[in-house]
Amino acid sequence: MEKAYKFRIYPNPFQKELMAKTSGCTRFVYNQILALRMDEYKTKSKSFSGYDCIKMLPDLKKQYPWLTEVDSTALQSAVQNVDTAYKNFFRDRKKFSFPKFKSKRKAKKSFKSKMNISVKEDLVKLPKLGWIKAKMTKGIQGRILSATVSLAGSGKYYVSLCCTDVDIGQLESTGAAIGIDLGIKDFATTSGGVKYANPKWLNKSEKKLIRCQRRVSRKTKDSRNREKARLKLARQHEKVSNQRKDFLHKLSNFLVRNYDVICIEDLDIKGMLKNYHLSKAIANCSFGEFVRQLSYKAEWYGKQLIKVGRFFACSQKCCVCGFRNLAVKDLKIREWTCPNCGRHHDRDINAAKNILNEGLRLLSSAA
Ligand SMILES: [Zn+2]
């Protein structure tokens, strides 16, 4: 099994500079390769393979000698990222958009090294960077495959070590199945009738995040006050993201421990990213992270995560008789009684039950 361990690192000034350089170089390589691929298609209607692109690296290094100053496996990862972005797009155009050039200002600052990585006590060794001070919270198991260094907007540095051959342990089979409806008011509602609200402290932090965001946009561009506000926003962003992950880990752990089959709505990620309303965007962040956690935990423990199409999650459908009550379209209606079978429904619990029913139907038709 593979597992990632993420922790904070404390690079010295030399290491900080080289990390910034490496991240810049990987962005440069990404953009160069993307441009070459687009050009090849435009002029010859042909596509380069991922392997073709890896072979272009030595030429790029000759052309731009400063690329040799940084870890070459990080540059290779950048080339592979272009390939992955292409593959994702051609596999599922609904979910993924065509790869875009990474802008210096907006792109996340990070890179992924793949060789000569080791750890001892409170130190991590990375290619060209040497030993870096680290705060390791958990012991690392297995063999290290790669290390992703990220330079957060708050000025903090993190490394995520991806390890293989990790002994995860096993969970007992329970024979139980559950459907989950995700929402803004209550984060998750289960087919068993349990509602998991966002914790109050998370709501509070998220509200503060929105305030920080507003403050940044009110300041004059390129001013020192804007930079101060931006740093504050980045710190709050990180805090919220950690708090959110904590809450979601607890919930996803509980679910994989207690259920063999977990049914959930298939969220339309591309559509979600287009939503500019801030509080909605924040909720979408949680949904995406939750589904991500459930997916890998289900895989770890041999449980089944079944994604159900949006249509079946329909809150207008009575989960008992299947009658479609169009009057429920109004989001303000939280409870309703089915005109056909007379059953009284809570909007979200009914939706969760529909998700479970459809998930179990998919499961039995696949068997
Ligand atoms: Zn009914």
- CA 114, CA 146: separation in Å to the nearest integer? 4
Dist. CA 162 → ligand 1 center (Å): 49
Which candidate in 71, 83, 181, 206 is catalytic? 181
Dist. CA 291 → ligand 1 center (Å): 30
Q: Kindly tell me if the per-residue pLDDT of 103 is higher than 70.
A: yes
Dist. CA 319 → ligand 1 center (Å): 7
What does the domain layout of the chain look like in residue ranges? 3-164, 171-367
Average pLDDT over residues 196-216: 89
Which candidate in 83, 206, 265, 358 is catalytic? 265
Active site residue 358: no
Sign of the C-alpha dihedral computed for residues 337, 342, 345 and 350 taken in this order: negative
Phi-psi label, residue 130: left if phi above 0, alpha if psi -120 to 50, beta otherwise: left
Tokens at residue 132, please? 């870096």
For 301-358, how does the pLDDT look when each residue is reduced to its tens digit (9 = 90+)?
Answer: 999 999 998 766 578 899 999 999 888 888 788 999 999 999 999 999 999 999 999 9
From the number of C-beta atoms within 10 Å of its C-beta (0-12, 13-18, 19+), residue 239 rates as: middle
Share above pLDDT 90 across residues of the chain, in percent, rounded to a whole number: 64
pLDDT category, 15, cuts 50, 70, 90?
Answer: very high
Active site residue 167: no
Among candidate residues 84, 97, 108, the one with its CA nearest the CA of residue 270 = 97
Dist. CA 320 → ligand 1 center (Å): 5
Active site residue 238: no
Angle between helices 200-218 and 278-301 (to 10 degrees): 130
- CA 271, CA 284: separation in Å to the nearest integer? 10
Among candidate residues 333, 356, 357, the one with its CA nearest the CA of residue 344 = 333
Buried b (16+ CB within 10 A) or exposed e, 34-73: bebbeeeeeeeeeebeeebbbebbeebeeeeeebeebbbb
Dist. CA 182 → ligand 1 center (Å): 22
Average pLDDT over residues 244-264: 95
Angle between helices 278-301 and 224-258 (to 10 degrees): 40
Which candidate in 71, 260, 348, 358 is catalytic? 348
Sign of the C-alpha dihedral computed for residues 285, 290, 292 and 293 taken in this order: positive
The residues facing 182 across adjacent strands are 188
Q: Which amino acid would we find at residue 315? A: S
Q: Which residue bears the tokens 């939750």?
A: 290
Stated pTM of the model? 0.80
Dist. CA 258 → ligand 1 center (Å): 29
Dist. CA 342 → ligand 1 center (Å): 6
Tokens at residue 93, please? 């155009």
pLDDT category, 14, cuts 50, 70, 90?
Answer: very high
DSSP characters for 294-321?
HHHHHHHHT-EEEEE-GGGG-TTB-TTT
Dist. CA 198 → ligand 1 center (Å): 30
- CA 135, CA 123: separation in Å to the nearest integer? 8
* Inter-residue contact 362 to 308 (CB < 8 Å): yes
243-247, 255-259, 311-315: least confidently modelled range: 311-315
Dist. CA 325 → ligand 1 center (Å): 9
Tokens at residue 83, please? 């390939």
The second-level CATH assignment, the architecture, of 171-367 is 2-Layer Sandwich (3.30)
Residue 335 DSSP SS3:
strand
**CB 223: neighbour CB atoms within 10 A?**
10
Q: Which residue bears the tokens 């984060």?
A: 187
**CB 270: neighbour CB atoms within 10 A?**
12
For 133-156, how does the pLDDT look when each residue is reduced to its tens digit (9 = 90+)?
Answer: 999 877 888 999 999 999 998 889
